[in-house]
Structure 1
Amino acid sequence: MLFGRAVRERPPVLLLLPALLVAAAMLLPPAYLAIRALEGGWEEAAEVLLDPETLAVLGRSALLAATVTAAATAVAVTVAWLTVRTDLPGRRAWAVLAALPLVIPSYVGGFVLVSALGPRGMLQGALEPLGVERLPEIYGFPGAALALTLFTYPYVLLTARSALRGVDPALEEASRSLGLGPWGTFFRVTLPQLRPGIAAGAILVALYSLSDFGVVSLLQYDTFSREIYIQYRSAFDRTPAAVLGLMLVALTAAVLTLEGRTRGRAAYHRSSAGSARPPATVHLGRWRWPALLFCASVVALALAAPVGVLLFWLVRGLAGGESLQPLWAAAANSVLAASLAAAVTALGALPVAALSARHPGPVAGMVERLAYLGYALPGIALALSLVFFGANYAPALYQTLAILVFAYAVHFMPQAVGATRSALLQIKPSVEEASRSLGRGRAATLATVTVPLAAPGILAGAALVFLTTLKELPATLLLSPTGFETLATRVWSATSDAFFARAAAPALLLIALSALPMYLLTIRERLR
């Protein structure tokens, strides 16, 4: 029972100490944010907390997150079912195309929406000769909800497709043999089996909606992220910004807690022996063309339209004399910051994942939970806490690349830990024990046996961190060194001033760079 001995073995100090340091680093931002929020006393914090405007911001944030999550889930589950279970024409192509909006940052989507449908947008210009002077208002809740739905539904789509492929078709066949029709079988048998997969994607959508800064700022919808940024930039006393940041952290933690308690303890695996087999294909019949129209509409709105609008503004900008020269420095800065963040995060995730996979126990569980704290830290709240900390206690690090990379590592550590831990769990401990029995120490075994075997998972986690770092906006805005412009901040500064032609080139380049790690991850999944 080599695996049993490996699990009960006490973790070595050289593994435990780095894991504890990573956990402490993850705890620093929320802890300091709480200290800064209470610096003015309980009375001032309570005054901000109970202010009617604060409560209104709380309601607007919750409403937006709930609406986007429900809409994204409805779109994603429909597309997933059509592309996995039916005879939809070109279903494999639609599955790929429907997932591609994941590489488009939401603030780029917001910029596209404003530039196409806003007061000075493409549609307004096209309709002016016809006497249309003003289009219906796109700003506020409707625009923010539409933009976030279009660019977050792939989170649910990917997990729902995976869950659909894993459903045992025998359950559906048994349901139909007992008299339930196709729709009854779907809602009473298939859909409950998809619950874990849908919930996994829906929680990501909810957290993304709560923490989003770019869309709500461009479309002028006051949620926590926008209010925090306004308070930080405009108010001399930044305690209200810290209190709002702490409230946002508490709201995201409440969402995570609610999701954990509603999971239930139902079993979703096969209860009997037998080989898995593909389910029967559902023939759409007269619904084939409406289904095809639905998939085409989703891809057109979430992928074709954004790329088309960006190309329009790019051509218009180049014709108007816009230079591409400043673009390359911003692209180099983006790649540099994302590469450093990916390397640092992958390195920090290794001891945490190894401790959790090889030495499970109370300490390992605590360290892993603290490592996942990054999911409960919206970018704006994380950046705000590090701004306060750097300005007061580490001025040498304030507005340097080091503190920016640290923020990225804290924010995206869960992605690297999850991928690395999954890879480590697939390595038999007996392989490592064989290495040690031949005279190699723990460090040598880790470097020459464990890490090479886990390299695909480690690289996958690093690629995810690289992808999300490229698109990160609020932390980059608040923490980047003076003059350190990235593609994300260049898009933001241009769109904030309504220079749509100037924003098009960095937005397209950002999408192209983001597509590369996603392509590599897709290739890896196909080769597994």
Structure 2
Amino acid sequence: MTQTAAPRTAVRGHSLRPPLGVVVPAVVVAVLSLLPLGFVVATTIQIGWDASIALLMRPRVGELLGNTLLLMAITVPLCVVIGVGAAWLVERTSLAGSPLWGVALAMPLAIPAFVTSYAWVSVIPSLSGISAGVLIATLSYFPFVYIPVKAALARLDPALEHVAASLGHGPVRVFFGTVLPQLRLALLGGSLLVALHLLSEYGAFAMIRFDTFTTVIMDQYRSTFNGPAGSMLAGVLMVLCLLILVVEAGARGRARYARIGSGVASAPTRARLGWRQLPAQTVLAAVAVLSLGVPLAVIAGWLFRGGAKAWDASEIGGVVAQTLGLGILGAIVTVLAAFPLAWLAVRYPGAISRILERTNYTTSAMPGIVLALSFVTISLALVPALYQTTAMLVIAYALLFLPRALVPLQAGIAQAPRCLEESAQALGRTPSGSFLSVTLRLVAPAAAAGGAMVFLAVAGELTATLLLSPIGVSTLATRFWSLSSEIDYAGAAPYALLLVLICAPMTYLLFRQSMKAADL
């Protein structure tokens, strides 16, 4: 593994000017991403400057800002500690059963956050507040850090660690001085996903009665229909997202990591746990029980209470088919939309590529209800034929979940050495031919991982689906939410179980493809 600065000058076979066939799709996606922002800005202009200031200066806004910032300040570091610690134990220690632990610690991603919240509320009905929010979010989102960091650890060249150890550096100094800097891209990408989910999550926090900007925006739109107040809150949410993106971009820097060839020069040295084996197993078991065991046990309990009458085969079959169809279609469209942006960000880093990339992150941080309402308003005014169609719903999914595809795609492209493309071109391949035969093959595992992440997001999406889906279309998530909102937990249990069963294979695919990307 070598670290090289992003090039500032042209190299053989490579122009500093990106291909038009990449720039145009990236610009189209960015323009579509700006539509919700334009909706919020137009609403602000419509209500006037004085009214906007009055809405923003309310004590309630300060309370929500404090809740959101505190939630992020606690949850993101916890996810980093659990994700990095678990990945290191599995990849770099003599942990017994490490292959099984490797998969088990990724599987909480198969359980949507609102299902985890439903399970914990069933166990502790009084669960609420910031502590509940941190608990649910950490148990739901730590795999976003664990999976990419584990894949990065599997790919790192252990020769660098051997050199550091030969210089007299102890295990702790080797980890923090040699290993951790090489995990920066994976660590920051995972942390960014956690932060964005904290900004936009609705169902999990609504169920435990913990107010964030997103839950209150939903209340404004659904209860009082106070659009201006909701738009002002959405504006604050977008500012928070922009600040996160600026911090993440500064921490990411311009360094890229790439290794030529498959395999490594030598196997990594696994640290002997010795007497620490039992504490390590205990900690990982606790994480697995809290994130997997509790939700699955609660779902099983409600299924037992509900009995056979909770299963309506005629309705459930249609809901499953619609969920699978929307998930697969949304994943394909989102990965295709993310590829030009990821390519520009890695191969042609600069102000323009950063702006195009960050535009989509800002949109993804919006609550689904804000994006959905902007699409409804725009479609009714300009393209009425798109209103309540599958096409509009899939476009909304792509804009909401683009970062889930961008993060693994960027990592995959960054680890596909450009010199291999140049070598193929030197042997007579055209630029497009070298891309298809060399780069695309190397990036395919990352693309599959991104598609799996998008599928998981689509399967568990609530707000945009409720507002934009065609008449008669329901997903497992929306049907579960409808029943659980009526406190029919037994009736909601079959949909929760099926949602987990559908998401579990995609989570495993995401995990395996991440490992394949590490083995390239």
SS at match of 1:481: coil
- SS of residue paired to 1:336: helix
Counterparts of 1:185 and 1:3, CA distance in 2: 34
The size of the alignment, in residue pairs, is: 498
Cα distance 1:387–1:489, how it changes in 2: closer, same or farther (>3 A)? same
Q: Kindly state the Cα deviation for residue 241 of structure 1 after the two structures are TM-superposed.
A: 0.6
C-alpha contact (below 8 Å) 1:84/1:161 kept by paired residues: yes
CA distance in 1, matches of 2:161, 2:361: 35
Residue 522 of structure 1, CA deviation: 3.5
Equivalent position of 1:86 in the other structure: 93
Q: 1:138 to 1:526 in 2, by over 3 A?
A: closer
Deviations 1:86-141 (A, max 9, x none): 222212211211111011110110111112222xxxxxxxxxxxxxxxxxx31222
Q: Does 1:169 align with 2:176?
A: no
- Quick one: distance in 2 between partners of 1:359 and 1:191? 26
Change (3 A) 1:11 1:201: closer
Q: Is the Cα–Cα contact under 8 Å of residues 77 and 157 in structure 1 kept in the other structure?
A: yes
- Residue of structure 2 equivalent to 1:205: 194
Is the 8 Å Cα contact of residues 139 and 290 (structure 2) preserved in structure 1?
yes
Match of 2:34 among 10, 16, 27: 27
| 1:11 partner amino acid | P
Q: State yes or no: 1:474 paired with 2:463.
A: yes
Pairing 1:73–2:80 present: yes
Instruction: Indicate which of 101, 111, 121 corresponds to 2:118.
Output: 111
Task: Measure how far apart 1:299 and its partner are.
Answer: 0.8
| Contact residue 387 and residue 479 of structure 1 kept, 8 A | yes
Residue number in structure 2 paired with 1:95 = 102
What SS does the aligned partner of 2:326 have? helix
Closer, same or farther: CA 373–432 of 1 in aligned 2, 3 Å: farther
SS in structure 1 at match of 2:95? coil
Bigger mean CA deviation after superposition, 159-168 or 305-314: 159-168
- Aligned partner of 1:121 in structure 2 is none
**1:302–1:171 CA distance, 2 compared to 1 (3 A):** farther
Equivalent-residue separation in structure 1 for 2:145 and 2:435 (angstroms)? 36
| Cα separation, 1, equivalents of 2:388 and 2:213 | 23
Q: Secondary structure at the match of 1:7?
A: coil
Contact map agreement 1:374 1:414 (CA 8 A) in 2 = no
Q: Contact between 2:140 and 2:291, CA under 8 Å: does it hold in 1?
A: yes
Give the greater-gyration-radius structure (CA).
1
Among 465, 490, 495, the alignment partner of 1:506 is 495
AA of the residue aligned to 1:32: F
CA distance in 1, matches of 2:176, 2:47: 53
**Seq. identity, %:** 36
**Cα separation, partners in 2 of 1:504 and 1:435, compared to 1, 3 Å:** farther
TM-score, with length taken from structure 1: 0.82
For 1:29 and 1:160, locate their aligned partners in 2 and report how far apart those are by CA, in whole Å. Answer: 33
What is the rounded CA distance, in whole Å, between the counterparts of 1:58 and 1:66 in structure 2? 12
Name the counterpart of 1:342: 331
Q: Alignment partner for residue 281 of structure 1, among 258, 270, 284?
A: 270
How far has the Cα of 1:327 moved from its partner?
1.4
**How far apart in 1 are the matches of 2:181 and 2:17?**
39
Distance change (3 Å), C-alpha of 1:322 and 1:282: same
For the 8 Å contact 2:148–2:514, the answer to whether it is kept is no
**How far apart in 2 are the matches of 1:325 and 1:28?**
38
Deviation at 1:343, TM superposition (A): 3.0
When normalised by structure 2's length, the TM-score is: 0.83
- Mark the runs of 5 or more structure 1 residues left unpaired by the alignment: 119-136
- 1:52, CA displacement in angstroms? 0.4
- For the Cα contact (< 8 Å) 1:432–1:449, is it kept in 2? no
Give the distance between the partners of 1:407 and 1:91, measured in 2 at CA. 39
Superposition deviation, residue 285 in structure 1: 2.5
What's the counterpart of residue 52 of structure 1? Answer: 59
Partners of 1:307 and 1:159 in 2: how far apart? 25
The alpha-carbon distance between structure 1 residues 515 and 26, as it changes in their structure 2 partners (threshold 3 A), is same
Answering whether residue 421 of structure 2 is matched by residue 428 of structure 1, we say yes
DSSP-derived class of the 1:428 partner: helix
Match of 2:6 in 1: none
| Structure-2 change in CA distance of 1:433 and 1:344 (3 Å) | farther
**Structure 1 residue identity aligned to 2:121:** V
Cα displacement (A) at 1:54: 0.9
The gaps in structure 2 that reach 5 residues or longer are 1-8
How many Å apart are 1:185 and its aligned residue? 5.9
**Which moved further from structure 2: 449-458 or 145-154?**
449-458
2:221 aligned partner: 232
- Would you say the 8 A contact 2:25–2:340 is kept in 1? yes
Cα distance change, pair 433–408 in 1 and its aligned pair in 2 (3 A): farther
Verify the 8 A CA contact 2:149 2:186 in the aligned structure 1: yes
The residue aligned with 1:143 is 132
Q: Which amino acid aligns with 1:91?
A: S
Residue 503 of structure 1 aligns to a residue whose secondary structure is helix
Question: In structure 2, what is the Cα distance between the partners aligned to 1:199 and 1:419?
Answer: 12
Residue of structure 2 aligned with 1:4, choices 9, 12, 34: 12
**What CA deviation, in whole Å up to 9, does each residue of 1:194-248 have, x standing for no partner?**
5554333222222211211111100010101100000001224310011111111
Structure 2 partner of 1:216: 205
CA distance in 2, matches of 1:336, 1:397: 19
The answer to which of 283-292 and 300-309 deviates more is 283-292
Query: How far has the Cα of 1:15 moved from its partner?
Result: 5.0
CA RMSD of aligned residues (A): 3.5
1 CA distance for matches of 2:333 and 2:18?
26
Question: CA deviation digits over 1:223-277, x for unaligned, max 9?
Answer: 011000000012243100111111111112112212333456789899xxxx743
Give the corresponding residue for 1:129. none
Q: SS of the residue aligned with 2:386?
A: coil
Q: Look up the equivalent residue of 2:463 and give its one-letter code.
A: P
Matches within 5 A, 1:443-482: 458-482=447-471
Return the letter of the residue paired with 1:488: A
Aligned pairs (5 A) from 1:306-317: 306-317=295-306
Q: How does 1:216-365 map to 2 (within 5 A)?
A: 216-263=205-252, 276-320=265-309, 322-352=311-341
Which AA in structure 1 matches 2:80?
A: T
- Is the contact made by 1:435 and 1:449 (CA closer than 8 Å) also made in structure 2? no
Distance (whole Å) between structure 1 residues aligned to residue 183 and residue 437 of structure 2: 40
- Report the Cα distance in structure 2 between the residues aligned to 1:389 and 1:56, rounded to whole angstroms: 32
How many angstroms apart in 1 are the aligned matches of 2:272 and 2:496?
A: 40
- Relative to structure 1, the CA distance from residue 85 to residue 435 in structure 2 (aligned partners, 3 Å threshold; closer, same or farther) is closer
